[in-house]
């Protein structure tokens, strides 16, 4: 642009001088000390990255368990548990600690997630004092290892259709847990193959011949290294990655547990066999239970974003050292990062990583607020919880897809060297691959986000029927949504923000955050209204709702994605606006603009199709993205340094120097 256009060469502006430690402080936020503790622990246990390659699976699993237990002793992994049980009593801190752990070996991360997040979180959130007293102190230290037995071979996304059954026997005052058919075996359960002594088992509760839906039970599965009577355990075997985590399968053949094994915060069974719950609607009860486990999604999203940072730190630093082909000079080959294509490949990913980081900060803050606010959820904060659940699902989906895409691009940008295990991408890629699937398949999560957007929270959410999400979407009252989305108002706002209107200067206002926000808001609301209209039309025509949904499904997912990207941009804009006016703010402003414009550019076809971009404006945006890449280039290494990934976690001695 600078070179080939009539426009004045904006590159002549001197690049901002990034104060790297100060930028790290901005990124680390209120949990800087927690993050530094984890960085120190990661460096201390840096050998685990080599162990991951060199040990046998059995030995590596033991090593990972030991590291997890040792890290637990530093307080790092228990920050979210009440202080009376040895925890830190700070949910936000526990998310920060978990995210930062993603700079290191991801088997350690996931083992921590299984033990303290899934298993510990279920006991804490679904159980009551008797369960807390019985388990929390021991599980916080890792003395008691447990697992979270929800997913079955036959049902991952559709949890309400699980096949494991827990039948209440009033005579014995016990529940009888049974795997009713082969695809109802619990599967992919972390900690199950080797280390867990107890499991939180999700099963269809049957009381007096009536099914009450899915509930959770604490079930001993192993004693002294052997499966308990009636429990069959199988190893899931080798996986693409995360081989330090012992995933396994569980079958239950009439396993009896006492009545008190039911995690009874939301529902209970009296000794004589009466089912009781303060939440009457079974769907609402189910989703309330599940909703308390939202922290797992928040954590995985943050972990994905931080895994992407490791990859980008290596690739950007390499591109700032590696030379190939003479270009500007005959005497010296060119730095990879001075090639326009290389900038285009890496720098928008750096910008998106910053954007997602700040969006993650928002959702982690909401989690902290919601879960610190009160012990028992009441109607009052239902809306806050639903917003949190939606945002957690969306940030998890975008953050983990971003990780997959970024790690791949960075590996390719490091050429053959990127393929050697010592240079980190092998483990990063293999270990993080499953992030897009676990804690909710990303495509299913985005449909949940869309469902939330389409549903009138206050009235319809309680009346969800048993058919799951598909019916949620097709069964709702679409009129209200079309009403609610104020597309025309947004459209006016966009028009107002273009000086001279669409026919005017196609470069005007390109770097105005209000313009960026108006564009993303318009897209979101227009997509949403379009989905609602298409669903309504189909159903009005008497078509099978499932059929209608199938046809509209990619539109549904696009609407959800647009919603989440708008939230991400808002978080970035708000963050920058709150900073003092210094060079770091100038640097973050460049990144914010690069994120916003590359996001619009990626979907510019849609904006043109919907009258929000002229051809000239669309081309101007692409030029601006190239120009922003050139302006970010001189500070690229500083920007990745500010993430403060411990050098031991980058490894790659010949790539990053």
The set of catalytic residues is 439
- Binding its own copies (rule: CB under 8 A), the pick from 344, 386, 484, 493 is 344
Q: Which is nearer to its own copies, 344 or 386 (CB)?
A: 344
Structure tokens at 204: 């269809």
Based on the shown chain and the rule CB under 8 A, indicate whether residue 418 belongs to the binding site for its own copies: yes
User: Among 319, 306, 307, which residue's Cα sits nearest to residue 656?
Assistant: 319
What is the nearest approach in angstroms of its own copies to the Cβ of residue 3? Answer: 5
What is the nearest approach in angstroms of its own copies to the Cβ of residue 600? Answer: 11
Within positions 277 to 306, which residues make up the interface with its own copies, using CB under 8 A?
none
Distance, CA of 459 to CA of 649 (rounded, Å): 49
- Binding its own copies (rule: CB under 8 A), the pick from 229, 237, 647, 653 is 237
Based on the shown chain and the rule CB under 8 A, indicate whether residue 271 belongs to the binding site for its own copies: no
Structure tokens at 305: 């974003």
Q: Which is nearer to its own copies, 17 or 654 (CB)?
A: 654
Stretch that binds its own copies, among 63-71, 326-334, 488-496, 560-568 (CB under 8 A): 326-334
Q: Which is nearer to its own copies, 110 or 367 (CB)?
A: 110
Phi, psi of 69 (to 5 degrees): -65, -40
Bridge-based pairing state of the strands 210-220 and 198-207: antiparallel
Q: Which is nearer to its own copies, 134 or 426 (CB)?
A: 426
Cα 248 to chain centroid, rounded = 23
Q: How far apart are the first and last CA of the chain?
A: 33
Rounded to whole angstroms, the maximal C-alpha distance in the chain is: 90
Within positions 240 to 269, which residues make up the interface with its own copies, using CB under 8 A?
240-241
Q: How many residues belong to the site for its own copies (CB under 8 A)? A: 91
Residue written as token pair 């539109």: 555
Based on the shown chain and the rule CB under 8 A, indicate whether residue 537 belongs to the binding site for its own copies: yes
Q: By the 8 A CB rule, do 71 and 45 touch?
A: yes
| Tally of residues, the chain | 657
Phi, psi of 295 (to 5 degrees): -55, -35
Within positions 62 to 121, which residues make up the interface with its own copies, using CB under 8 A?
none
Q: Which is nearer to its own copies, 53 or 492 (CB)?
A: 53
User: Among 175, 178, 164, 124, which residue's Cα sits nearest to residue 146?
Assistant: 124
Within positions 390 to 409, which residues make up the interface with its own copies, using CB under 8 A?
404, 408
User: Among 267, 128, 114, which residue's Cα sits nearest to residue 198?
Assistant: 114
Based on the shown chain and the rule CB under 8 A, indicate whether residue 411 belongs to the binding site for its own copies: yes
Within positions 461 to 520, which residues make up the interface with its own copies, using CB under 8 A?
466-471
Within positions 141 to 160, which residues make up the interface with its own copies, using CB under 8 A?
151, 153, 155-158
Environment class of 499 (CB within 10 Å of its CB; exposed 0-12, middle 13-18, buried 19+): exposed
Based on the shown chain and the rule CB under 8 A, indicate whether residue 557 belongs to the binding site for its own copies: yes
Stretch that binds its own copies, among 33-41, 169-177, 312-320, 426-434 (CB under 8 A): 426-434
What is the nearest approach in angstroms of its own copies to the Cβ of residue 137? Answer: 32
Q: Which is nearer to its own copies, 76 or 404 (CB)?
A: 404
- Those residues with Cβ within 8 angstroms of residue 84's Cβ, 6 or more apart along the chain or in another chain: none
Structure tokens at 503: 């026919």
User: Among 291, 221, 260, 255, which residue's Cα sits nearest to residue 133?
Assistant: 260
What is the nearest approach in angstroms of its own copies to the Cβ of residue 553? Answer: 4
Distance, CA of 59 to CA of 65 (rounded, Å): 10
What is the nearest approach in angstroms of its own copies to the Cβ of residue 522? Answer: 16
Mask for 27-66, x = binds its own copies (CB under 8 A): --------------------------x-------------
- Binding its own copies (rule: CB under 8 A), the pick from 168, 252, 318, 425 is 425
What is the nearest approach in angstroms of its own copies to the Cβ of residue 11? Answer: 10
- Binding its own copies (rule: CB under 8 A), the pick from 103, 318, 438, 522 is 438
Distance, CA of 594 to CA of 600 (rounded, Å): 10
């Amino acid at each position: 642009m600078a070179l080939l256009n009539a426009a004045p060469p904006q590159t002549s502006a001197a690049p901002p001088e990034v104060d790297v430690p100060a930028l790290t402080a901005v990124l680390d936020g209120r949990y800087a000390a927690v993050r530094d503790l984890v960085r120190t622990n990661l460096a201390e246990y840096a050998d685990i990255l080599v162990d991951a390659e060199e040990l046998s699976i059995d030995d590596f699993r033991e090593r990972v368990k030991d590291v997890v237990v040792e890290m637990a002793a530093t307080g790092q992994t228990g920050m979210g548990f009440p202080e009376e049980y040895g925890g830190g009593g700070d949910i936000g801190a526990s998310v920060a600690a978990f995210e930062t752990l993603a700079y290191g070996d991801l088997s350690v991360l996931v083992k921590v997630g299984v033990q303290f997040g899934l298993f510990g979180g279920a006991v804490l959130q679904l159980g009551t004092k008797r369960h807390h007293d019985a388990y929390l102190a021991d599980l916080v230290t890792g003395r008691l290892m447990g697992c979270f037995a929800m997913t079955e071979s036959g049902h991952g996304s559709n949890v309400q259709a699980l096949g494991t059954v827990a039948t209440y026997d009033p005579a014995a005052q016990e529940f009888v847990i049974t795997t009713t058919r082969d695809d109802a075996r619990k599967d992919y359960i972390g900690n199950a193959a080797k280390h867990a002594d107890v499991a939180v088992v999700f099963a269809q509760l049957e009381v007096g011949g009536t099914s009450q839906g899915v509930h959770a039970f604490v079930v001993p599965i192993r004693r002294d290294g052997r499966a308990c009577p009636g429990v069959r355990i199988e190893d899931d075997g080798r996986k693409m990655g995360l081989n330090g985590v012992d995933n396994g399968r569980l079958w239950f053949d009439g396993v009896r547990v006492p009545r008190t094994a039911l995690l009874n915060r939301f529902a209970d069974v009296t000794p004589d066999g009466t089912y009781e719950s303060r939440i009457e609607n079974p769907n609402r009860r189910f989703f309330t239970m599940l909703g308390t486990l939202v922290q797992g999604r928040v954590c995985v999203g943050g972990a994905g974003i931080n895994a992407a940072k490791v990859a980008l730190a290596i690739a950007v630093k390499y591109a700032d050292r590696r030379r190939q082909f003479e270009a500007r000079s005959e005497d010296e080959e060119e730095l990879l990062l001075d090639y326009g294509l290389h900038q285009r490949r890496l720098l928008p990913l750096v910008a998106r990583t910053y954007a997602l980081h700040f969006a993650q900060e928002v959702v982690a803050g909401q989690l902290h607020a919601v879960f610190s606010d009160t012990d028992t959820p009441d109607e009052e904060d239902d809306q806050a919880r639903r917003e949190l659940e939606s945002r957690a699902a969306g940030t998890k989906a975008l953050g983990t897809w971003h990780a997959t895409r970024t790690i791949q691009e960075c590996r390719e940008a490091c050429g053959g060297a990127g393929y050697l295990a010592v240079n980190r991408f092998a483990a990063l890629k293999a270990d993080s691959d499953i992030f897009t699937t676990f804690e909710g398949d990303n495509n299913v999560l985005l449909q949940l986000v869309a469902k939330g957007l389409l549903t009138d929270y206050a009235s319809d959410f309680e009346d969800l029927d048993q058919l799951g999400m598909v019916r949620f979407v097709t069964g709702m009252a679409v009129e209200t949504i079309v009403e609610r989305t104020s597309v025309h108002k947004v459209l006016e706002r966009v028009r107002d923000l273009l000086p001279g209107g669409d026919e005017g200067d196609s470069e005007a206002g390109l770097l105005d955050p209000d313009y960026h926000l108006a564009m993303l808001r318009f897209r979101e609301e227009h997509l949403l209204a379009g989905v609602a209209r298409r669903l309504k039309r189909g159903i009005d025509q008497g078509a099978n709702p499932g059929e209608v949904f199938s046809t509209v499904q990619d539109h549904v997912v696009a609407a959800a994605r647009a919603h989440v990207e708008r939230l991400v941009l808002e978080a970035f804009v708000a963050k920058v606006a709150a900073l003092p006016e210094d060079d770091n703010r100038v640097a973050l402003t460049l990144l914010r603009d690069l994120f916003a414009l590359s996001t619009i550019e990626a979907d510019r076809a849609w904006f043109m199709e919907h009258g929000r971009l002229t051809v000239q404006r669309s081309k101007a945006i692409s030029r601006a993205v190239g120009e922003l890449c050139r302006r970010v280039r001189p500070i690229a290494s500083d920007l990745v340094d500010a993430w403060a990934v411990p050098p031991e976690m980058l490894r790659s001695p010949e790539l990053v120097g």
